[in-house]
Chains A and B, each alone.
Chain A
Amino acid sequence: KQEVTQIPAALSVPEGENLVLNCSFTDSAIYNLQWFRQDPGKGLTSLLLIQSSQREQTSGRLNASLDKSSGRSTLYIAASQPGDSATYLCAVVPMDSNYQLIWGAGTKLIIKP
Chain B
Amino acid sequence: ETGVTQTPRHLVMGMTNKKSLKCEQHLGHNAMYWYKQSAKKPLELMFVYNFKEQTENNSVPSRFSPECPNSSHLFLHLHTLQPEDSALYLCASSQDRATGREQYFGPGTRLTVT
Interface residues in chain A, defined as those with a beta carbon under 8 Å from any beta carbon in chain B? 4, 9, 31-32, 34, 36, 41-46, 49, 51, 89, 91, 93, 98-106
Contact = CB atoms under 8 A, between A and B. Distances in A.
A104 B101 CA distance: 19
A105 B41 contact: yes
Interface residues of B, number: 26
Contacts of B98: 99
Interface of B: 2, 4, 6, 40-43, 45, 48, 55-56, 90, 92, 97-108, 110
Nearest to B100: A32
Given A46-B102, A89-B43, A101-B43, 18 more contacts: A32-B100, A41-B108, A42-B108, A43-B4, A43-B6, A43-B90, A43-B105, A43-B107, A45-B105, A46-B103, A46-B104, A49-B100, A51-B100, A93-B100, A100-B45, A101-B45, A104-B42, A105-B42
B48 to A, nearest CB: 8
Interface of B is mostly: loop
Contacts of B56: 98, 100
A99 B97 contact: yes
Contact of B42 (A4, A42, A99, A100): A4
B105 A44 contact: yes
